[in-house]
Amino acid sequence: MAAAVLCAGLTLCVSGCHKKIQAPPPLPPIQDPVALVTQPLSAHPSMIEPPDVEMPPVPIASSAARMRRERRRPATKAAPEQPAQVASAEPPAEDTAIGALTPGGEANSRSQQEAADMIAANEKRLNALPAQTVEEEKAQISKVKNFQRQAQEALNSGDAEGAKTLATKAKLLLDDLSK
């Protein structure tokens, strides 16, 4: 008897009568014909004409990709009988590029002296570091020495500003080491 009740219960559950969902009724068919409306095409469709733009010439790789620094020539002293040069409103010769830096006489020598002093101060600090710090921070010390070497090369080639920048980088790395 228990088996019969169990079979009847399973039959009702499996059949799913209580879960049946009724489908919505279908829409009524359209009886009247509908005319499709299309927009009339104009004879001359309006389009925006692209503006004519002159493009710059395509860059070409050449030997100019690597900037070469001119070697500094020793300045010759002018004879006292020559008249003083007067600045003119005319642009300089074509071989001078726009924005090119030129040595500034007295200001340049002061800048070179400052760069040399910074390099010397960094060397003293580098030599005064304890051996233990040098062993622990070999990578950082190598970077400092590399900046110092580049700064000295820049100073020797006459680039005082570049030398000062590189010496400042070395100084900042040394400051990090001393912390």
The total of structural domains in the chain comes to 1
Helix (H, G, I), strand (E, B) or coil at 8: helix
Q: Which residue has the tokens 């100019």?
A: 64
Is 97 a member of any domain?
no
Three-class DSSP category at 68: coil
Q: Sign (positive/negative) of CA torsion 115, 119, 124, 129?
A: positive
Q: Is residue 41 part of a domain?
A: no
Q: Give domain status of residue 164, yes or no.
A: yes
Is residue 91 domain-resident?
Answer: no
Per-residue pLDDT of the chain (179 residues; tens, 9 = 90+): 899 998 888 887 776 655 567 788 888 887 888 788 887 777 776 777 878 888 888 777 665 555 666 667 666 655 555 545 555 444 444 454 555 555 555 567 888 899 999 999 999 998 888 888 888 888 899 999 999 999 999 999 989 899 999 999 999 998 888 77
The predicted pLDDT at position 165 comes to: 93
The sign one gets for the Cα dihedral 83, 88, 94, 95 is: positive
pLDDT for 151: 92
- Its pTM stands at 0.42
pLDDT the model gives residue 69 = 65
Q: At what angle do helices 106-127 and 160-178 cross, to 10 degrees?
A: 30
User: What pLDDT, on a 0 to 100 scale, did the predictor assign at position 124?
Assistant: 92
Is position 35 within any domain? no
In terms of residue numbers, what domain contains 139? 106-178
State the pLDDT at residue 171.
92
Query: At how many degrees (to 10) do helices 138-156 and 160-178 cross?
Result: 160
Q: Is the CB of residue 123 less than 8 Å from the CB of residue 149?
A: no
Q: Is residue 155 part of a domain?
A: yes
Give the pLDDT of residue 56: 83
Residue 64 is assigned to a structural domain of this protein: no
Considering the domain boundaries, does residue 62 fall inside one?
no
Q: What is the pLDDT of residue 78?
A: 53
